[in-house]
């Protein structure tokens, strides 16, 4: 899934320029991770026009990174989180790609329904997602219970490596949204 070849190294600065973040030389910490995630969600839109129009799509970063940096497009979860995970790794973060199932009106979707990121930082796993279209704008610590999220709070249910995330709806109830076995994708 991930190609971190030399030819992609030239995309780090244009990617950061697109996000409006000066991160080169900064220590990979939670403050930088939060700034990068918020900036990505504002600057690079979720869009699935290629999928909708049944155009061929790819999930490797040799496709998705130039799509964001050269062509100025957004993308869908595998493109956006794939590219963002690559960028985070270039900046020194330890990142795993994870498969999530999305909860819809008719129940849970299939495995590999959604790609998200787990960032290992401060001896914790942080859930990061820039490719859902309606996701938190800040990293969410994967610990049981309610977490402060923007634009709404999140509740994590953890069982071993598996986790389920629910968001508070307008009525104040919890709506399950994503579930993952937490196993890294290769």
Which positions are catalytic?
A: 77, 114, 129
From CA 28, how far away is CA 39, in angstroms rounded?
16
Q: Which of 114, 171, 116 is nearest to 140 (CA)?
A: 116
Residue 22's CB is within 10 A of a number of other CB atoms, namely 11
* Ranges of H-type helices in 10-153: 12-19, 30-43, 49-52, 61-69, 77-90
User: Strand 94-104 vs strand 145-147: parallel, antiparallel, or unpaired?
Assistant: unpaired
| Helix or strand (DSSP H, E) at 8 | helix 6-9
From CA 134, how far away is CA 59, in angstroms rounded?
21
Contact criterion met (CB below 8 Å) for 79 and 57: yes
Measured CA angle at 169 (ends 164, 172), to 5 deg: 105
């Amino acid at each position: 899934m991930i190609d971190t070849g030399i030819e992609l190294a030239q995309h780090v600065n244009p990617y950061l320029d697109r996000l409006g973040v000066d991160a080169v030389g900064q220590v990979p910490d939670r403050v930088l991770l939060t700034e990068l995630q918020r900036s990505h969600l504002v600057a690079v839109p979720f869009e699935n026009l290629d999928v909708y129009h049944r155009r061929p799509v790819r999930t490797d970063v040799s496709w998705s990174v130039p799509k964001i940096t050269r062509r100025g497009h957004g993308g869908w979860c595998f493109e956006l989180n794939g590219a963002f995970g690559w960028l985070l790794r270039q900046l020194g973060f330890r990142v795993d790609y994870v498969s999530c199932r999305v909860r819809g009106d008719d129940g849970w979707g299939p495995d590999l329904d959604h790609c998200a990121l787990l960032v290992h930082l401060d001896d914790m796993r942080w859930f990061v997602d820039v490719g859902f279209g309606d996701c938190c704008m800040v990293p969410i610590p994967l610990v049981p219970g309610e977490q402060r999220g923007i634009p709404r709070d999140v509740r994590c249910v953890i069982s071993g490596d598996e986790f389920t995330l629910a968001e508070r709806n307008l009525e104040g109830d919890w709506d399950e949204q994503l579930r993952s076995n937490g196993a890294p994708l290769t």
